[in-house]
């Protein structure tokens, strides 16, 4: 029997890209929350509102072998959903969970970049929620868990790049952080990496980020420069006088060279021609 994958949050930017990437190779199912016409007619898209519905019932109905969690929403409900996922995994050996986390789990420290085995510490509620879900998965079902921590995820259709284009078009202001050192990636690269991780049944913690770092301001100025000769009004936001790191770096769990990414590749992909946006 081939793998049956359930993507939680399949109507979101990343979840939907993963759905399109994996669709030809696996039996893929997705959840969406708000009633969206195109999804309701699609047999593999299941309506699921985590504030009201039980994911456990859906898991028992769909019987996925791999659960990819790309959920957003209210904190208590998110935690409850992942608790039910853990119960499902405990009752069904051989099932695996890929949890999509982020650099937010390290936003309580900013003096250095963060590696896979660093102690997580967060100042925000969203970051603390991700830490608690990571911890629950790693402590209760370690051999069934893969944690995928993501930096800023860009691409021609990413919210940030679409926003940048709007700001360029309307000569509006676009916030940049001159003292913030980050890593980044593209949605296409993340999809390729997740596909590889599934094929190889990899477990543990992965930092799916570029191998190199860049200042937030430089990244968006470079992308703008490559897009053409117009610019938005760049508004510099300083959170401190010193450089601060909001950067994930892969160190212990590195993927093969072809599945790695650099900042220059990110810039290249984000500045592709505008026409491409219409190719959905």
Q: What is the DSSP string of 93-126?
A: TT-EEEEEEEGGGGTT--SS-B-TTSPP--SSHH
Q: In this structure, are 11 and 60 located in the same domain?
A: yes
Q: In this structure, are 29 and 167 located in the same domain?
A: no
Q: Percent of the chain having pLDDT more than 70?
A: 94
- pLDDT of residue 1 exceeding 60: no
Six-digit token pair at 80? Answer: 């409850």
Please give the Cα distance from 163 to 2 (Å, whole number). Answer: 39
Residue with tokens 């499902």: 88
Q: In this structure, are 116 and 164 located in the same domain?
A: no
Six-digit token pair at 83? Answer: 């608790």
pLDDT for 52: 86
pLDDT for 37: 54
Average pLDDT over residues 57-76: 92
Q: In this structure, are 119 and 167 located in the same domain?
A: no
Q: In this structure, are 107 and 234 located in the same domain?
A: no
pLDDT in tens, 146-194: 999 999 999 999 999 999 999 999 999 999 999 999 999 999 999 999 9
Kindly report the pTM of this predicted structure: 0.92
Q: In this structure, are 147 and 157 located in the same domain?
A: no
Task: Provide the domain limits for residue 167.
Answer: 153-183+210-247+257-278
Q: In this structure, are 99 and 140 located in the same domain?
A: yes
- The size of the chain, in residues, is 280
Six-digit token pair at 193? Answer: 């990496």
Count up the domains in the chain and report the number: 2
């Amino acid at each position: 029997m081939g793998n049956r994958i359930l993507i939680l949050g399949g109507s979101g930017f990343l979840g939907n890209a993963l759905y399109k990437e994996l669709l030809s190779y696996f039996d893929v199912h997705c959840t969406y929350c708000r009633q969206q016409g195109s999804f309701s007619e699609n047999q593999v898209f299941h309506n699921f509102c985590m504030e009201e519905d039980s994911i456990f019932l859906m898991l028992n109905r769909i019987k996925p072998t791999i659960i990819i969690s790309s959920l957003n929403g209210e904190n208590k409900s998110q935690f409850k959903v992942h608790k039910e996922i853990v119960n499902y995994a405990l009752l069904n050996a051989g099932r695996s969970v890929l949890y999509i986390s982020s650099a937010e789990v390290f936003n309580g420290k900013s003096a250095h970049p963060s590696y896979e085995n660093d102690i997580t510490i967060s100042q925000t509620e969203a970051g603390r929620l991700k830490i608690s879900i990571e911890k629950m998965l790693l402590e209760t079902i370690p051999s069934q868990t893969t944690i995928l921590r993501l930096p800023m995820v860009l691409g021609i259709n990413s919210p940030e790049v679409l926003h940048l284009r709007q700001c360029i078009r309307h000569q509006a202001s676009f916030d940049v952080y001159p003292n913030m050192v980050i890593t980044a990636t593209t949605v296409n690269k993340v999809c390729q990496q997740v596909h590889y991780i599934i094929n190889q049944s990899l477990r543990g913690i992965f930092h799916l980020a570029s191998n190199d770092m860049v200042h937030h301001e430089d990244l968006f100025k470079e992308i703008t420069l490559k897009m053409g000769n117009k610019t938005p009004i760049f508004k510099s936001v300083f959170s401190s006088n010193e450089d601060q790191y909001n950067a994930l770096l892969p160190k212990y769990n590195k993927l093969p060279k072809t599945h790695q990414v650099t900042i220059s590749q990110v810039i290249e992909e984000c500045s592709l021609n505008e026409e491409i946006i219409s190719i959905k």
